[in-house]
Structure 1
Amino acid sequence: MRKNITLYTIVMIIMLSVTISIFSLYNLRKTGIKSAIHNAQSISEVVKSGLTAHMINGNMQDVDTFINSASNIKNVEQLWLVRSKFVNEQFASSHLKNPPRDDFDKKALATGKMQYKIEEEITSTTVRVTIPYNAVAEKGIDCLKCHQVEQGTTLGAVSIVLDISTIKEIGIESIYVITVLILTTIILFILVSRRLISPYLRLFDKFKININQATHGRFKGIVPPSGLSAEMIHITEDYNNLIQSFKDTAVDIDKKLQGFVGFKASNKNRNPLKDSKEIIDNLSNLYQFKKQIELDNTKEEIYDRLAEVLRNKFNLKNFSFVEIDMKKHKMTTMKQCGESLYCDETLKNNPEVCRAARTKSDVMSVQFHNTCPHFESDKLYYCFNVDITQSLYLIINCVCDTQEELEELKEKTVFIKSYLKESVPSIEVKLLMNALQESAFTDGLTGLYNRKFLEEYTKKMLPQVKRDGTNIALLMLDMDHFKAVNDEYGHDIGDKVLKELARILNETVRESDIIIRYGGEEFMILLMGVNSDEDALSVARKIGDKVRENEIDVYAGNKLKKTVSLGLSMYPEDSTSFETVIKNADIALYEAKNSGRDKVVRFKEEQVSSVDLF
């Protein structure tokens, strides 16, 4: 900065000096030209008076001598006399013709006005002035007495060439003087600036450095250099007090914000201003996130929103959301982005071995040994554990390509966990809502859907089936002689038999099929999208075979075997009314039980009349 100020000042002095020099030279030149013209006019008056005297005295033969003597005047290079045609015609016998030498003379004679021009060369400057003589009739001089012309007629002119090179010499001398003055001024300025301005420039440099450091979180005071005025020292002290106050405030805010979010910075050279701003931004974004997830309908929507935060805010590319239910020994992948979850196959079969869920803590890659033995990849990982309920855990598995990427993720964990922490209550609410909904739509004994679920499900299912043009095979199933089980073994064994039947049905049909406990020992199975009734009959026979082969422990080593009867009806083949299809399957079931039990019967139209007659 000091160099810049000195340089700018020197440049300004030089520019000002050059400007003054140019202006002075211009004025000097202009003044010299005016002076030369004035001198020419004075000389011309002398010549005019001499010519008049010679004419009156009748010694015109001495005019040339007079003109030559006038030419010897200082700074006059040339002087000659020019006569107009009127004078030459009147005095034709005279030897003094003096015609115009050039167009410049002719112009002066023609216009009757003074003409001048400047001729400049490198070493000299001359002014050519041609001054006309006009006929006048005044007291003391009456040209009309001798010349037969009208008043105002141009009788002749005097052309004078004056040397004004001295003006240029004076200008050059001025340039020398100004140059010396400029150099002297610059030297004096440098000497003065070092003594007077230098302390202020050093103070300015310190201000600049300290302000730059303050923007990076390093607050320091300034020691004022010697040579400053009392006012500047007072200003420096005020600045130091301001910086100290700002430092105390910034550090205090930073510590409180860190304590609020549970963040501890490890870098000593950290910037508290930047960190505080980052924390405040995260808190603001976190508040907006919390308000949004409270309005989401399902936990899947919450997971989608959380995934967007990880992707867009924290720049994570590869991560998965996994729910692990320790109670049900079940692992469910809820969300997957990029390449991650290299322990998927292990967790599907044994979800309880997940280290993050088992230890209820985060798990990450460390050098020299594998933290989690079930992560089957050489890539780096970080697994967040989130306790949803006592037995349900949300595991977020993040995969990193480099150690630097993992370190960056570690620095963001506090803020990521803030989002996870805010998500837990909303996820838990959605789980409770699902549990309430499931309790309303499921059978408490077998865990299968109930009749209420069937009523709600068919409202959405049937329009979809009609649009897709698919078939539904409806099986009505009833356990044979179930009342005898309750009578002989008691209701506990009866409940056990129904649970076993539910287990067999779940294992036999597809996940897309729907199993409903219709009432008592009666069950309904919806086989979705079957190709034909033969396929449905095949599934029904398989169910009958598995039930027949299954042995149920009752007590004291006794085994119990049961059989089931099934009735089949097809939608929309048998009827476009789903209620009618249910009724038809029930009629077929009645036919199966009435014809000996332990069999599958396909509904036929003639069965309706036999049931009605019965």
Structure 2
Amino acid sequence: MKKKILIIIALIMIISTIIRTSLVEYSFIAFAKQLILNQTMLIKDILYEVINKEDYLQIIKDSYAIEDIKLKKGKIKSTQININLKQKYIQIITPFNSESYLDIKYNAKDYFNNILNISIKLFIIGLTSLIIIIWIVNYFLTPYLEILENVKKSTKEISKGNFDKKITTKLKGEAKEFVNNYNKFLEDLKNSFGVIEEKYTSLIEKEKSQNPLEDAKNTISQLADIFKFKKVIEEDISTEVVLNRLIEIIKKFNIKHFALFGIDNTKKTVIFEYNEGDICCDIKDKQEFCRAYRTKNIIKSSDFPNICQRHFCKNSYICIPFSKSGNFTGILKIMDIEHIDKDTIAYIKAYLKEVSSIVESKFTLELLHNQTIIDPLTKLYNRRFLENILNKIIANADRTNQKVAFVMIDMDYFKKVNDTYGHDVGDMILKQLANILKSSIRESDIVVRFGGEEFLIILNNIKDKECLFKTLEKIRKKIEEYEFQIPQGKIKKTISMGASLYPDTCNSPWQCIKNADIALYKAKNSGRNKIVIFEN
């Protein structure tokens, strides 16, 4: 900046000197022209009056200032002035009369030399002035320019996250006050940014970059997104919905190959699994071999060769467990991490940190809810669930104009099993029966343990009584042919079934169940191992 200012000043001085010299030269030449022109007019006027013109011209020619003067034949319209710098003369040609003109050459050697001397003096004065002005400007301006240069260097350091580049000056007054205020601003900025950096690094564990300000901007933007994400998942209805939202977030980071697992710690089973791309891993039914699940620590392939037994490829990966201290553990596995920015991994960890407490809370609530609506022995829904769902089933049937079948099932002579083999064996048979019933119906249908050895099946969208009978006959025959496994060997059992069809034979859910129970009673009293459909 200093050089630029001095160059600008020098250019201004040089240009002004040239202009000033040119103006002086122009003024001198203009004055000389006018003076010579006046002298010519005087000579011309006298020449008109004298009789012996040749003698007069010779006298004029012998004067010091005139090199040559002639009265020539010819006609010219106006006076002409010619300046010859090389031969240093000024020529004036002016009309004398209608038949001749006057041609005078003035010796301008001394005149031109004077102009040259004046120009040189003006140039020397200009150059001297330039040197003096540059010295004065340099002397007084340099301290201020140094302040600006130091501010420029300091701001460059600030962009790199260095707030320690303070500036100094020997000046006093306003310049000193400016420097002090700038240094105070720098200190305040350092303290403020330090607090901000400390806060966001406590939330997102990531390495410092070469550009802390840009890094802070990106991190704060991510924190805002994480906060919005947290607010959304807090109001989600289930663990599954939360995990699906997490999957969408991971995809937004352009992760091509990853897997997300949700594990029920109480049952030691994988209850949620999502794979995107190639993951080279399978922990379903073998989660105890998953190192991240077992140790509850982050596992990176770079830590040690073949560190995880469940990974069967040679590419790099990282496994991050989350929500790992309660009833639920999540495992996020990301492949090819050498191609993924470290900040991306840090941001994903921050999302997992927010997900952990929320998904644990929701999963625990789901467990508690399931304990109230799930039969602990057969893992079927119980009567409490039935009470909550019946009206919804009927409302859906009315809205879609469909028929719903209510089927009561009772195992024949089940009391003999308990009396002969004991209640433990009876429980084993009930569990196997529950599995057969669940595997025999559609996903839209429901099996409920109604009580003891009684079960209720609710079949949606049944066409008519004949269709219902065929469906139930398949179930009855399947159980009749099944060999129940007990410690003493294998035994066979049969079931009796009573059914009612809504809205054909009942107009409310509990009326349908009651009618199905009546039909079941008839089936048992008429020989067992049969199906009876209630008739009005």
- Same fold at TM > 0.5: yes
Aligned mate of 2:471, from 505, 523, 536: 536
What's the offset of the Cα at 1:550?
Answer: 0.8
Kindly indicate whether residue 291 of structure 2 is the aligned counterpart of residue 291 of structure 1: no
Q: Deviations over 1:119-161 (max 9, x none)?
A: 466736856564799xxxxxxxxxxxxxxxxxxxxx9997565
* In 1: Cα distance, 2:525 partner to 2:297 partner: 61
Secondary structure, aligned partner of 2:284? helix
What's the offset of the Cα at 1:323?
Answer: 0.6
* In 2: Cα distance, 1:192 partner to 1:307 partner: 70
Kindly indicate whether residue 11 of structure 2 is the aligned counterpart of residue 15 of structure 1: no
> May I ask how many residue pairs the two structures share in their alignment?
525
Letter in 2 for 1:210: S
Letter in 1 for 2:246: L
Letter in 2 for 1:422: E
Give the share of equivalent positions with the same residue, in percent: 27
* In 2: Cα distance, 1:461 partner to 1:335 partner: 34
Secondary structure, aligned partner of 1:526? strand
Letter in 2 for 1:342: C
Q: Deviations over 1:408-443 (max 9, x none)?
A: 455x2xx54443333334334543564566567545
Kindly indicate whether residue 351 of structure 2 is the aligned counterpart of residue 419 of structure 1: yes
Q: Deviations over 1:5-55 (max 9, x none)?
A: 4433333332333333343344344434433443344444x33xx53x45x
What's the offset of the Cα at 1:222?
Answer: 5.9
* In 2: Cα distance, 1:398 partner to 1:39 partner: 105
Secondary structure, aligned partner of 1:398? strand
What's the offset of the Cα at 1:588?
Answer: 7.5
Within 5 A, what are the aligned runs for 1:187-586?
204-220=148-164, 228-229=170-171, 234=176, 238=180, 242=184, 245-246=187-188, 249-250=191-192, 252-253=194-195, 256-257=198-199, 260-261=202-203, 263=205, 280-312=220-252, 316-333=255-272, 335-336=274-275, 338-339=276-277, 341-343=279-281, 346-387=282-323, 390-402=326-338, 405=340, 407-409=342-344, 412=346, 415-431=347-363, 434-435=366-367, 438=370, 442-443=374-375, 446-449=378-381, 450-452=385-387, 453-457=389-393, 459-460=395-396, 477-482=409-414, 497-509=429-441, 513-517=445-449, 521-524=454-457, 526=459, 536=471, 539-541=474-476, 543-545=478-480, 548-552=482-486, 561-566=492-497
Secondary structure, aligned partner of 2:270? strand
* In 2: Cα distance, 1:158 partner to 1:36 partner: 17
Aligned twin of 1:140? none
Q: Deviations over 1:326-366 (max 9, x none)?
A: 32232144554x425431xx312223332222222222222
Secondary structure, aligned partner of 2:340? helix
Moved more, 380-389 or 503-512: 503-512
* In 2: Cα distance, 1:200 partner to 1:394 partner: 62
- In the alignment, is the contact (CA less than 8 A) between 1:130 and 1:160 conserved in 2? yes
- What CA RMSD, in Å, does the superposition of the two structures yield over aligned residues? 5.1
* In 2: Cα distance, 1:63 partner to 1:366 partner: 119
Q: Deviations over 1:87-108 (max 9, x none)?
A: xxxxxxxxxxx7x613x24xxx
Bigger-Rg structure (1/2): 1
* In 2: Cα distance, 1:20 partner to 1:529 partner: 111
Letter in 2 for 1:16: S
Secondary structure, aligned partner of 1:7? helix
Over 3 Å counting, the alpha-carbon distance change for 1:541 and 1:494 in structure 2 is closer
Secondary structure, aligned partner of 2:162? coil
* In 2: Cα distance, 1:356 partner to 1:434 partner: 24
Over 3 Å counting, the alpha-carbon distance change for 1:539 and 1:577 in structure 2 is farther
- In the alignment, is the contact (CA less than 8 A) between 2:480 and 2:495 conserved in 1? no
Over 3 Å counting, the alpha-carbon distance change for 1:325 and 1:355 in structure 2 is same
TM-score by length of 2: 0.74
What's the offset of the Cα at 1:484?
Answer: 6.1
- In the alignment, is the contact (CA less than 8 A) between 1:326 and 1:351 conserved in 2? no
Q: Deviations over 1:539-568 (max 9, x none)?
A: 42553235x521446xxx698753113468
* In 2: Cα distance, 1:377 partner to 1:174 partner: 93
* In 2: Cα distance, 1:440 partner to 1:117 partner: 124
- In the alignment, is the contact (CA less than 8 A) between 1:474 and 1:527 conserved in 2? no
Secondary structure, aligned partner of 1:322? strand
* In 2: Cα distance, 1:510 partner to 1:341 partner: 32
What's the offset of the Cα at 1:324?
Answer: 0.8
- In the alignment, is the contact (CA less than 8 A) between 1:451 and 1:516 conserved in 2? yes
What's the offset of the Cα at 1:594?
Answer: 5.4
Unaligned runs of 5+ in 1: 55-59, 82-97, 106-115, 134-154
- In the alignment, is the contact (CA less than 8 A) between 2:91 and 2:105 conserved in 1? yes
- In the alignment, is the contact (CA less than 8 A) between 1:251 and 1:272 conserved in 2? no
- In the alignment, is the contact (CA less than 8 A) between 1:386 and 1:395 conserved in 2? yes
* In 1: Cα distance, 2:514 partner to 2:94 partner: 137
Over 3 Å counting, the alpha-carbon distance change for 1:379 and 1:118 in structure 2 is farther
* In 2: Cα distance, 1:292 partner to 1:540 partner: 44
Secondary structure, aligned partner of 1:456? helix
Aligned twin of 1:142? none
Letter in 1 for 2:75: R
TM-score by length of 1: 0.66
* In 1: Cα distance, 2:283 partner to 2:367 partner: 24
Aligned twin of 1:147? none
- In the alignment, is the contact (CA less than 8 A) between 1:383 and 1:397 conserved in 2? yes
Letter in 1 for 2:435: R
Secondary structure, aligned partner of 1:349? coil
Unaligned runs of 5+ in 2: none
